[in-house]
Copies of this chain bind each other. A is one copy, B any other.
Amino acid sequence: MSLTISKRGGQMPESPIRKLVPYAEAAKARGIQVFHLNIGQPDIETPEAAVQAVKNYSSKIVEYSHSAGNESYRRKLAENYKRAGIDVDYTDIIITTGGSEAIIFGFMACCDAGDEIIIPEPLYANYNSFAIEGGISIVPVASSIDNGFALPPVTDFEKLITSRTKAIVICNPNNPTGYLYSREEMETLKEIILKHNLYLFSDEAYREFCYDGDHFSAMNLKGAENNVVLVDTISKRYSACGARIGALVTKNKELYNTVMKFAQARLSPPTFGQVLGEAATELPADYFEATKEEYRKRRDTLVSRLQKMEGVVCPTPGGAFYAMAKLPIEDAEDFCQWLLESFSHNGKTVMIAPAPGFYATRGLGRNEVRLAYVLNSDSINEAMDVLEEALKVYKR
């Protein structure tokens, strides 16, 4: 017998992006400029008023907060939701350490080891990691780039529902596909969850980033109030990823009380991040307009360039700041590594994320990549020059 790590520790996937980091670092060491379209770290400044609130922090002791988060913050956040057309009370909200913790708490409170959660794939890769922590199985239902990653048909979901199925998870608008679910698709999901008594986790991290239609929150599915769990975060909304502040919102009181026990065990969410989040609730109503316009411009630049490249398929994403593209290549992982390791165009290259890491089904997405449009339009254009040239040169 010797010291061992756990099976779940072995199963935990490495980040699909981080594998490429050493190649990016080596490229930079060779003097090559790398355009980072690989991560969801926005380049937008965090609102000054929100950061200023942290600088104005005046308590002499940085104490634990309430395990559900400061009541003053929860009250203002509830008002914010109401202004966005989502009717929740502050007692429906638990402030979490990033959206990540909201997902973990939700999974843990609804599922035991061996239980199953259905998620349209491609999917946010960390859902899988959080499921592994709790011994939960992610059951993917395939969406396809060929119809822009629309919600799979009801029959595809129903084929996968077993007695162990506890929940469906969507991310809306979607990371990694940028797909914005329509009201009709949301109503379809409602039918499934009510018919089969499932929870619906709706990750709405990118709710404000919708470019071609209105966002329909799962919290507004009438009659499914007991089934819906909203997962939220200030990371992207206010470009405050490092604050580590999210929220779990549900009107299901049994679930709420159970999640509270997990929240109490870890004592409290971060104090300074809550101060930032609370101040952000008081930003003017038009705060997002400029940001949204900027992202819309970036999206249009990125997508129009991609759509003009020979052999590239890129559906126009309706929200978030990601686009998926099918490239005329066989192995995206090899291609993305090659871009960093062996290619440059006028001293520049581009880092993008191979799609297989976002699929739970092995073998899917092999010729797809995810591009995050988190750089300004000029940089995106330059990055697209690089990619266009690379696709002409790459031969494997």
Contacts and interface: CB of A to CB of B under 8 A. Distances in A.
A115 B6 contact: yes
A242 B261 contact: no
B258 A64 contact: no
Given A3-B197, A242-B268, A266-B100, A57 B51 contact: yes
A271 interface: yes
Given A42-B61, A258-B5, A261-B14, A271 B244 contact: yes
A1 B240 CA distance: 41
Interface string A258-272: 110110111111111
Contacts of A14: 261, 264
Interface string A93-114: 0000110110010001111110
A192 to B, nearest CB: 14
B8 A108 contact: yes
A42 B63 CA distance: 8
- The number of times this chain is found in the oligomer is 2
Which residue, A6, A45, A242, has most C-beta atoms of chain B within 10 A? A242
A6 B129 contact: no
Given A18-B264, A113-B113, A227-B3, A242 B62 contact: yes
Interface size class of A (residues with CB under 8 A): 35 or more
Interface in A213-230: 226-227
21 contacts: A1-B163, A1-B197, A3-B227, A6-B109, A8-B108, A9-B108, A12-B258, A18-B264, A46-B60, A54-B57, A62-B240, A65-B242, A98-B267, A100-B265, A126-B267, A129-B261, A133-B134, A243-B271, A244-B270, A270-B273, A272-B273
Interface of A: 1-10, 12-15, 18, 41-46, 51, 54-55, 57, 60-65, 97-98, 100-101, 104, 108-113, 115, 126, 129-130, 133-135, 163, 166, 196-199, 226-227, 239-244, 252, 254-255, 258-259, 261-262, 264-273, 276
Q: Which 8 A-B pairs have the closest CB atoms?
A: A242-B271, A129-B265, A272-B272, A12-B261, A9-B258, A270-B270, A62-B242, A100-B266
